[in-house]
């Protein structure tokens, strides 16, 4: 559904170069790369917030495109309650703000009893859950995530990863997930892309076989092998600088 062809992006210097990428509907794709390789720029291109210097970003055969964006910080509005934060996209799109729908999403991210709280009363993980609920409420079919779990502790992080996967398996929206954690990318996605830095280029692509049990997959030898394989590619991408 999302297609990058020959995309170049230049600010002061080249940020992204020669990006060709096709993401199918319902696919879960992760982008791995070192800091400053243009991962965030790639997401901003995918969300149409910025236009590429050269090349085309387009959405194939999607009339009702609805993009959800999850930022690195939860980016909640502190003056609104949890519930009001989640209904924001509906308000902005002048849809009838449905409390039931918001409550349903809050329940699905595991925050049902927190609807009346304010963001400053929540933990980091809970805030991120609100942010995810907000990104999905508007019938999202393309979810873009910019290192959403980077600031969370390992246990919270794994819990959130599993919850995100569970929702994705039911809803089958398309996911583009940016991270700098190799194991997170492998664990979550069907396809992992490795970006080099200065300028960002796709240097490696790896399809991940799906296991029935994700937990089993994380402990498997295969997981370890893919991990070290991708880590090597990532490392050589940095050395290109």
Both tokens of 125, joined, read 């993980």
Could you write out the DSSP letters of every residue in 128-144? HHHHHHHHHTTT-SEEE
Q: How far is the CB of 67 from another protein (least distance, A)?
A: 6
The least CB distance from residue 77 to another protein, in Å, is 7
CB of 72 to another protein, least distance (A): 8
Q: Is the Cβ of residue 117 or residue 190 nearer to another protein in the bound state? A: 117
Residue number with CB closer to another protein (120 or 210): 120
Least Cβ distance, residue 144 to another protein (angstroms):
9
d(C-alpha 89, C-alpha 136), whole Å:
9
Interatomic CA distance for residues 196 and 226, integer angstroms: 18
**Least separation in angstroms between CB 146 and another protein:** 9
CB closer to another protein out of 60 and 92: 92
* Backbone phi and psi for residue 26, each to the nearest 5 degrees, phi listed first: 85, 5
List, as one string, the DSSP characters of 142-160: EEEEESTTTTS-HHHHHHH
Judged on CB neighbours under 10 Å (0-12, 13-18, 19+), 198 is middle
Q: Are strands 54-59 and 14-23 parallel, antiparallel or unpaired?
A: unpaired
- In the complex with another protein, which residue's Cβ is closer, 133 or 208? 133
Report in angstroms how near the CB of residue 195 gets to another protein at its nearest: 21
Do the beta carbons of residue 97 and residue 173 sit within 8 Å? no
Query: Could you tell me the smallest distance in angstroms from the CB atom of residue 50 to another protein?
Result: 10
> Kindly report the CA angle at 123 between 122 and 124, in degrees rounded to 5?
120
Q: Which is nearer to another protein, 118 or 231 (CB)?
A: 118
Binding site for another protein (CB under 8 A): 44, 47-49, 67, 69, 71, 73, 75, 77-80, 88-89, 91-93, 118-120, 138
Give the separation between CA 1 and CA 151, rounded to whole angstroms. 30
Question: How far apart, in whole angstroms, are the C-alpha atoms of residue 157 and residue 144?
Answer: 17
- Residue number, 62 or 71, with CB nearest to another protein: 71
Closer by beta carbon to another protein, 135 or else 189: 135
């Amino acid at each position: 559904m999302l297609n990058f062809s020959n995309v170049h992006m230049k600010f002061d210097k080249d940020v992204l170069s020669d990006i060709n990428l096709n993401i199918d509907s319902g696919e879960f794709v992760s982008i791995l790369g070192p800091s400053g390789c243009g991962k965030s720029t790639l997401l901003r291109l995918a969300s149409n917030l910025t236009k590429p210097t050269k090349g085309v970003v387009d959405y194939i055969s999607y009339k009702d495109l609805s993009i959800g964006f999850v930022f690195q910080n939860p980016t909640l509005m502190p003056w609104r309650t949890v519930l009001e934060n989640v209904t924001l996209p509906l308000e902005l799109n002048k849809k009838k703000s449905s409390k039931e729908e918001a409550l349903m999403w809050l329940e699905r991210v595991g925050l049902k009893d927190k609807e009346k709280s304010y963001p400053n009363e929540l933990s980091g993980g809970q805030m991120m859950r609100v942010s995810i609920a907000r990104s999905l409420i508007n019938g999202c079919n393309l979810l873009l995530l910019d290192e959403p779990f980077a600031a969370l502790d390992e246990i919270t992080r794994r819990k959130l990863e599993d919850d995100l996967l569970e929702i994705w398996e039911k809803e089958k929206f398309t996911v583009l997930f940016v991270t700098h954690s190799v194991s997170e990318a492998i664990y979550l996605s069907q396809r992992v892309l490795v970006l080099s830095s200065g300028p960002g280029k796709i240097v490696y692509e790896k399809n991940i076989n799906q296991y029935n049990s994700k937990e089993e997959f994380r402990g498997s030898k295969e997981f370890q092998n893919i991990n070290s394989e991708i880590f090597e590619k990532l490392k050589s991408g940095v050395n290109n600088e």
